[in-house]
Chain A
């Protein structure tokens, strides 16, 4: 199978409908760049989502030598939409790769407006629309396009490409991704944007050509059978 190949821009932004897999993609993408020996920092711009954040991968990122910029109150009991000043520095200094995990939907993308002029001026960015066509509110290309336009209006940065991250969680297989290809091509045509790449859980990606492999963290509520607990 062909390996995943992709030439990154200086700034890569992952935005999309909430629950489309932006955080998983951003974390794995930063790890991918680090593995290739690149200096990269990941920033969590999510001011909407209370749980399951970039910070959950803090240890993994630290081991890979990737600085994580995360709101001070992420994963705490405070629901305060404040972003740390280091994000500004990351965008302004242009001395390393930046991976930005943008919050879901238009509400999440509002946080982007703060940095949009600088990112547009530097003009070395990829604004990726992460789409999972197995999510109920982005099931059709038309629905996904609507979400895309709302995010662009809120964030102030036009999308430059699409990532097909169509999955069904634990029930995913190769077909889960493959059967969305026609609809995803339609979204590409409607929006005039290229599909930059597709992503899938690593085991599944291995069966497919050029698909970006995702390593997913197991969560405390995943149910594991007796065999998994044998020591």
Chain B
């Protein structure tokens, strides 16, 4: 077993990206993810990589667009307001079918909001925060170890499907420290015949572009892209199922909310209430099938979120509203306690048994 180190979530993302062969980082500081940029600023010059603090988030994402077009593993990171600024660029990257990693360590919103943790960018991440028909692969880690593992995974998936991937964390995940076993060094194994690397006068030049002059062609690229998305929905869903075997109630939560919820599940079971949890790890593709199946087993669902209730919409769709779905939430940088989740579970039980 490799040596473990003690890392902040933000550092784990940065080091894991380097281990995954990323040598290009473009960003702009914002709390609570600044450690990613700080780490890259320290490490990249020592390994022949590029760290560049751009003049804004908008220019950072467009630098990502450029380097992605050249076929290199590239990333940017920010927190909620900064990720809003990046949306135009993300749409362009998706429209040009380029792989890239965007990290969002969320904080409270809307607007400038605050610097405390939040999950209220779920809609933005999973429904397309920018314009046009496109998707992002969205990974939601729930431990510092997963921050590292999912970073490598995000690069792989982005390249495999030629699309941007997002790591969606929150302030606590970024700031908390846990022991981590860093992933083995890896690199891109995907051929990139589309990359703009110079023709050497041996081939026709490649074009990186998201502008289509005739609508038939633009429609065709949209349909092709959605065929690819269908494959992803079939093959790349990730989730954790916790104590679901005999569960009568199911908590659904991701990221930091899933850690609080795991405590609530254990607290509920200690009091004789049979509760389990399904934790979506990929938020897109959303684990629809396992939730639909759970709807045949449990009496009700509880969506635990650090938002006014965003994932709950996908949960209701996935379960076709066959069982009551309640929301247990805090917002604006506040975090529900396991006791609050437990209270919400008892209320759900009360309604289901009434």
Contact = CB atoms under 8 A, between A and B. Distances in A.
Contacts of A1: none
A229 interface: yes
A134 B263 CA distance: 28
A51 interface: yes
A230 interface: yes
A19 B15 contact: no
B124 interface: no
Nearest to B256: A221
A223 B347 CA distance: 23
A214 B270 CA distance: 30
A51 B333 contact: no
Interface residues of B, number: 40
B263 A229 contact: yes
Interface string B195-225: 0000000000000000000000000000000
B267 A134 contact: no
Contacts of B262: 223
Interface stretch (A29-37, A167-175, A202-210): A167-175
* Central interface residue in B38, B177, B333, by most chain A CB within 10 Å: B177
B69 interface: no
A136 B259 CA distance: 25
B5 A136 contact: yes
A221 B39 contact: no
Nearest to A171: B179
A76 B35 CA distance: 19
A50 interface: yes
Contacts of B290: none
B189 to A, nearest CB: 26
Interface of B: 4-8, 11, 15, 31-32, 35, 38-39, 42, 108, 113-116, 171-172, 175-179, 182, 256, 259-260, 262-263, 266-267, 269-271, 333, 335, 337-338
Given A77-B114, A132-B6, A229-B271, 17 more contacts: A19-B6, A51-B32, A52-B175, A134-B4, A136-B11, A136-B182, A168-B6, A169-B177, A219-B176, A220-B335, A220-B337, A221-B172, A223-B259, A223-B263, A229-B270, A231-B270, A231-B271
